[in-house]
Amino acid sequence: MLVQRSVRWFVLSAVMLMLLTIPVAAQKTETPQGTVSVCKEIDDDWKCVGESSEWPANTNFNVLFVNSVPVGVDFIGIVFHKQGTDGKDVAFINEYQQQMDPKYRKYATVGDNFKLPAGTYSVYIISWGKRESLVHNGNFAEYFAKTTLKVK
């Protein structure tokens, strides 16, 4: 009787572990699913007003993220890395955690929260659970969206 319980417990534990490790399609971000845009503002119809991939130095901007499918996570991150001359991330600048309903596909900042000094930057939208918490190397392999922003 004790052996049967042990076997049942082992099988149940193994099945639960397998179910926990199956990725949810909306969270799988190996292939980018969305776009991130830098804008002067975002209108009521989720349109990027004053969108540009080049921005004046130390001038406020907003970010619009639009994904093709629901994000499937409670928190996204907006992460900024400075790029080197080879286009690779060389310096961590900052990251911002944003709460988002897992069934939503869009997120916009308001209030001109961001501004950067001159340089070229990678702007990533990531699942917050995949952020780099100890060492910020950048060059993310998994993200929802990425853009390059040139600040002059």
Q: Nearest-CA neighbor of 98 among 80, 76, 130, 79?
A: 76
Residue-wise pLDDT for 15-29, tens only, equals 454 444 444 433 444
Whether 26 and 69 have beta carbons less than 8 Å apart is answered as yes
Mean pLDDT of 101-120: 94
Q: What pLDDT does residue 101 have?
A: 95
Residue-wise pLDDT for 85-94, tens only, equals 999 999 999 9
Query: Which alpha helices (DSSP H) does the chain contain, by range?
Result: 2-21
- pTM equals 0.79
Tokens of 11: 């099988």
